[in-house]
Amino acid sequence: MAGFFRIQNLAATSFFVVVSLAIAQNDEQLTRTEEKLTTDRDFYDQWMKLINVQAEQLEEQSLDYPLDYVIRDLAQCPETKIQPGLDTNAVQPQDIAIYAEMGQLSSYCPSNHTLLSAGILGSCKQRSHTMKLPSLPKMLQIRGADLKTIDANHLEDPLPDQAKSIADEITRIPGYEEMWKMIVITATIQDGTASETGQTAIEVLAAIQELGQLLPKKTFVVVLRTSGSGLWRDASHANEACRTQLSKWKVHNKFNYNSVWDQVEIIVQKNYLRPNFSVEILPLFRDAALNNLPNM
């Protein structure tokens, strides 16, 4: 499976960073942002600058690194011939029957420049597996998975609650224990609280513990590590509108220690590399930073 994640990582890294971080927020905040655009002229100007930069980046990205090749190439990969998945080490894409995602990065905001220019932001609760770009479930399906995708959770809930809600939905599926389940946790600082004990890594661990208890059989959990504050610092540095929007996350940002993530990784390695319940932590946004951003 490792190759899969690498591809997904590349796609996600290059594409999502600016779009998601700049406007990732809940619908209430979106409404407030839409209002602010009508009442705060400076913010309006900063905002227009931001969405123009985004539109240019998206266009450049689609010319320089079009992502359709991912699905095309995947379709041509030869079949690997190994024993059908008896434990998590041997799980193949086609073995996975149930798929779920949780965490703020599992949703996205539509990026329609026409609408954004008119100050209409749209809902940021769109699920990443519904987007046109290559998503992990789409890749699994290309490789023969007959997937049931679960959307049971509320992204504003704490991660352990989201884990419970997903597990609750899965346990209603007849025969779920005999099916391979893949659950992807893509948390950002917005999934934690601004405190030592509620920071994102700790919440992620609590979510893993819930899943381990509720779905102990044939479950494969993938966590994207988003430690450090580089991304947030850079995003707010790059654009005034981002700075305004991200300022309320300043304290959260402080509580996203690398050392805590390191500890969580150690705990996971000790406890959750079982044949029937395995957790893999991928360092996608470990110490992440945005390169090549223009200085304001």
What is the DSSP track for 222-250? EEE---SSHHHHHHHHH-HHHHHHHGGGH
Least Å distance, CB 274 to ligand NAG, is 8
Least Å distance, CB 291 to ligand NAG, is 27
Residue 131 or 290: the one with the smaller Cβ distance to ligand NAG is 131
What is the DSSP track for 260-284? HHHHHHHHHHHHSB-SSEEEEEE-T
Least Å distance, CB 98 to ligand NAG, is 14
Residue 112 or 149: the one with the smaller Cβ distance to ligand NAG is 112
Least Å distance, CB 109 to ligand NAG, is 13
Least Å distance, CB 85 to ligand NAG, is 10
Residue 181 or 252: the one with the smaller Cβ distance to ligand NAG is 181
With residues binned 3-state (H G I as helix, E B as strand, rest as coil), the percentages for the chain, rounded to 5, are 55, 10, 35
Residue 112 or 244: the one with the smaller Cβ distance to ligand NAG is 112
Bridge partners of residue 127, in order along the sequence = 107
Residue 59 or 196: the one with the smaller Cβ distance to ligand NAG is 59
Residue 114 or 292: the one with the smaller Cβ distance to ligand NAG is 114
Least Å distance, CB 35 to ligand NAG, is 20
Give the burial class of 136: count Cβ atoms within 10 A of its Cβ; 0-12 exposed, 13-18 middle, 19 or more buried.
Answer: buried
Is 153 in contact with 87 (CB distance < 8 Å)? no
Residue 202 or 215: the one with the smaller Cβ distance to ligand NAG is 215
Least Å distance, CB 242 to ligand NAG, is 23
User: Which pairing describes strands 180-185 and 219-224: parallel, antiparallel, or unpaired?
Assistant: parallel
- Interface residues with ligand NAG (CB under 6 A)? 87, 112, 114-115, 177-178, 217-218, 275-276
User: Cα separation of 157 and 171, whole Å?
Assistant: 20
Distance of CA 266 to the CA centre of its chain: 22
End-to-end Cα spacing for the chain: 41
Is 261 in contact with 202 (CB distance < 8 Å)? no
Of 153, 145, 100, 146, nearest to 125 by C-alpha is 153
